[in-house]
Amino acid sequence: GQNIDQPTEMTATEGAIVQINCTYQTSGFNGLFWYQQHAGEAPTFLSYNVLDGLEEKGRFSSFLSRSKGYSYLLLKELQMKDSASYLCAVPEFSGGYNKLIFGAGTRLAVHP
Amino acid sequence: ETGVTQTPRHLVMGMTNKKSLKCEQHLGHNAMYWYKQSAKKPLELMFVYSLEERVENNSVPSRFSPECPNSSHLFLHLHTLQPEDSALYLCASSPQDLPYEQYFGPGTRLTVT
Q: Which residues of A touch B102 (CB under 8 A)?
A: 45, 100
Per-residue pLDDT tens over the stretch B33-82? 999 999 878 889 999 998 878 877 768 999 999 999 999 999 999 999 99
Q: What is the pLDDT of residue A1?
A: 55
- Choose among B18, B30, B26: nearest CA to B76: B18
Residue contact A97–B2, C-beta within 8 A: no
Under a CB-based contact definition with an 8 Å cutoff, are residues B89 and B110 in contact? Answer: yes
Residue B67, beta-bridge partner list: B75
Alpha carbon A23 to chain centroid, angstroms? 10
Residue contact B43–A44, C-beta within 8 A: no
Residue from the list A42, A95, A100 with its beta carbon closest to the beta carbon of B100: A100
From CA A15, how far away is CA A77, in angstroms rounded? 4
Per-residue pLDDT tens over the stretch A84-99? 999 999 988 777 677 8
The SS3 assignment for B42 reads coil
pLDDT at A71 exceeding the cut of 60? yes
- End-to-end C-alpha distance for chain A, whole angstroms: 41
- Choose among B29, B18, B21: nearest CA to B74: B21
